[in-house]
Every structure is written in structure tokens, then in C-alpha cells.
Amino acid sequence: MEKIAFIGMGNMAQALAAGFISSGKIKGEDITAFAPNQEKLHRNAEKIGFIPASDSRSAVKDAGIVIMACKPYQIIQVLEGLGDALNGKALISVAAGWDYKRYSEVLDPSVRFQFVMPNTPAMVGEGVLLFEETNSLEQEERREIMELFGTVGDVHILPSRLMGIGGAVSGCSPAFIDMLLEAFADAGVKYGLPRETAYRLIAKTALGSAALQMATGEHPGALKDKVCSPGGTTIAGVAALEEAGFRNACIKAIDAVMQRG
């Protein structure tokens, strides 16, 4: 595997670097990273095991793969700082909105690139990683990179036109699902459950329900039906959720994301 350089070592880059190293597919000594706050970078290097760099050009010098993991609005400035240091390398970018088309307008033709949209559960190896179908990586290189990213979650390839909605559903929904956990825990606390117990019960129930759906491949509606006995308590809860516009609220949340994107 080629050496990897990270530009930016925030939440997402840390999740990726830690996952890559613990998978054994790459050694920490073959990963370099640059971020402006050197004290924080060195602390993370110690914890995760990569090599810290004092500037972006030296970070990418020996790397074949560069992972752009700073904020989207910082990218132009970062690319200016890197200059020709990226030439001939593979650039994997996880910055929201920086897709193939946008990079193709600013990168040297010798840079091969791929837009990937990850989500925060990648921090515990349970992420979703959307690979834009259009890319300029070499075939074998892309296969290897997809395998590497697969160490922190499920990899999916999406056409460019679906990266926005895919990113909304997998990238933004962790926040919505956290709200759901909080809301059900509030209900549990209202009826006397201790706060910590309530969070644990609902989080494990969400995890288990998702795992059951993925393991069986059953339609979520069919799994819901199995829990709803006629005239029972669960169907009363389902009816209450529908009355409060539960489904519509979820769809409206994604509408709002798409309108901003």
C-alpha cells in the first residue's frame, strides 16, 4: 500500500487514520498528517500513531495517497499552499461539496482524484462511506482505497447526481437519529427511568433494530408489523407517531438539507 498523507486531522481524519491503522492494512509510520495546531496534531499523533508534519508540503512529500480532510472552505487555500506537491498523486477528498466536477476545475491534470462522503459512525467502525462513481483513480488503486475505507464502515458507490441526497441521508442523519434517541430517553425519564438507563435502553434498541433489519433484509414495515399485536400497545404508539407527523417530519428534515445543499 502507498504511504498516506492527511491534510487536516480533525474528527473525521482521526476516525479514518485510527481505523486504517487498527485494520493492519497500513502501519502508523506510513501515515503522515498536517494540521495548523501543531500541539493538537502531536497529541493525536501520539494517541493514533501517525507521523506529524510541520507543513502540508512535507506531509505529502513521500505519500502516494493524499486525504483532504480539512473544512470545505479551506481547500482553495490548502491547494495553493501545496502547489505542485500534489502532482502525480491520488487525492481522496472527504470535504462536503467538493465533488469530481469541482476538483477537475482546479487540479493539475496529473492528480488522480476521488470524492468520498463519510459519516461520524466511522469513528467506531460503523460508518457509511459514499464513493462518487465518477473519479480519475486507476482501477487497482481505487479497489485498494475502497478496501481501506471499508475498514471503518460500509462502502457504497453512487452516481454524482445522487451524492447530495446520499450524503443527506447518511451524513446528516446521525444528528436526526441522536435527536430520536434523546426524545425517547426523555419519554423514559418522564415515566421514571434514570437518565443514563434511558439512553442505554434506547441506543441499544436502535442498534439492535438496525442490526436485525440488516441481517434479515426484511422490509422495515414488516419488522414493525411483527411488534404490533392487534389492539395492542405498540400499534397505539405507532398511531400516535403517525398523528404527530413522524414520517413527514423525517422527509421534511431531508427536504431542508437538500434545499441548503
Ligand X SMILES: NC(=O)c1ccc[n+]([C@@H]2O[C@H](COP(=O)([O-])OP(=O)(O)OC[C@H]3O[C@@H](n4cnc5c(N)ncnc54)[C@H](OP(=O)(O)O)[C@@H]3O)[C@@H](O)[C@H]2O)c1
Candidates 3, 4, 5, 8: give the one binding ligand X (CB under 6 A). 8
70 binds ligand X (CB under 6 A): yes
In eight-state DSSP terms, residue 141 is H
Candidates 72, 125, 150, 188: give the one binding ligand X (CB under 6 A). 72
Of 31-39, 82-90, 149-157, 200-208: span binding ligand X (CB under 6 A) = 31-39
Q: Which is nearer to ligand X, 154 or 225 (CB)?
A: 154
66 binds ligand X (CB under 6 A): no
Q: Which is nearer to ligand X, 71 or 143 (CB)?
A: 71
Check: CB of residue 212 under 8 Å from CB of residue 220: no
- CA dist 176 and 252 (Å) reads 12
Check: CB of residue 84 under 8 Å from CB of residue 108: yes
Of 34-42, 157-165, 218-226, 243-251: span binding ligand X (CB under 6 A) = 34-42
- CA dist 257 and 55 (Å) reads 35
71 binds ligand X (CB under 6 A): yes
Q: What are phi and psi of 196, to 5 degrees?
A: -65, -40
DSSP sequence for 193-212 = --HHHHHHHHHHHHHHHHHH
Check: CB of residue 198 under 8 Å from CB of residue 209: no
90-93, strands of its sheet edge to edge: 51-52, 31-34, 4-7, 65-68, 90-93, 112-117, 127-132, 153-158
- Shortest approach of ligand X to residue 231 CB, angstroms? 43
- CA dist 118 and 172 (Å) reads 10
- Shortest approach of ligand X to residue 220 CB, angstroms? 24
Q: Which is nearer to ligand X, 146 or 193 (CB)?
A: 146
35 binds ligand X (CB under 6 A): yes
Measured distance between the N- and C-terminal CA atoms of the chain, rounded to whole angstroms: 35
232 binds ligand X (CB under 6 A): no
- Shortest approach of ligand X to residue 120 CB, angstroms? 4
Q: Which is nearer to ligand X, 114 or 119 (CB)?
A: 119
Grid coordinates representing 185? 430517553
- Shortest approach of ligand X to residue 38 CB, angstroms? 8
In the region spanning residues 172 to 211, those forming contacts with ligand X, defined by CB under 6 A, are: none
In eight-state DSSP terms, residue 171 is I
The per-residue b/e assignment along 166-185, b for 16 or more CB within 10 angstroms, e otherwise, is: bbbbbbbbeeeeeeebeebb
Candidates 1, 2, 10, 134: give the one binding ligand X (CB under 6 A). 10
226 binds ligand X (CB under 6 A): no
In the region spanning residues 92 to 131, those forming contacts with ligand X, defined by CB under 6 A, are: 94-96, 117-120
Grid coordinates representing 47? 494517541
43 binds ligand X (CB under 6 A): no
In eight-state DSSP terms, residue 62 is T
- Shortest approach of ligand X to residue 33 CB, angstroms? 8
Positions in the binding site for ligand X (CB under 6 A): 7-13, 34-37, 40, 69-72, 74, 77-78, 94-96, 117-120, 171
